[in-house]
Amino acid sequence: MARKEITVVTDRGQVSIPAELRRELDLLPGRRLRWEKLGAAEMRVSVLPEEKPRGAQAMRGFARRFRDRPRTTADWMQEMREGEE
């Protein structure tokens, strides 16, 4: 039989997920959930599969590797022109 947990909806419509369930379901910040209304007083919450980021989201963190090497505009121009010779 399923475990029963009780939570309270806040003024902003937020609900806390009990810690034990978060751990069991590996629910980390940013994880998406689907809410489905089943009846007048019943709903289902499903954990959606993780999706690989697409478009610009896929590039998040890419520039991080360049932060430790500050370059001047002259450095960038030199690098760009190396292939022109």
Higher pLDDT, 55 or 44: 44
Residue at 77 is within a domain: no
Q: The tokens of 22 are what?
A: 């978060």
Q: How confident is the model at residue 48 (pLDDT cuts 50, 70, 90)?
A: very high
Radius of gyration of the chain (CA): 23
Q: Residue 5 belongs to a domain with what CATH number?
A: 2.10.260.10
Number of structural domains (the chain) is 1
- DSSP 8-state code for residue 71: -
- DSSP 8-state code for residue 12: T
Residue at 76 is within a domain: no
The closest of 54, 1, 3 to 24, measured between CA atoms, is 3
pTM, to two decimals = 0.55
Which residue range forms the structural domain that includes residue 44?
Answer: 1-48
Residue at 42 is within a domain: yes
Residue at 13 is within a domain: yes
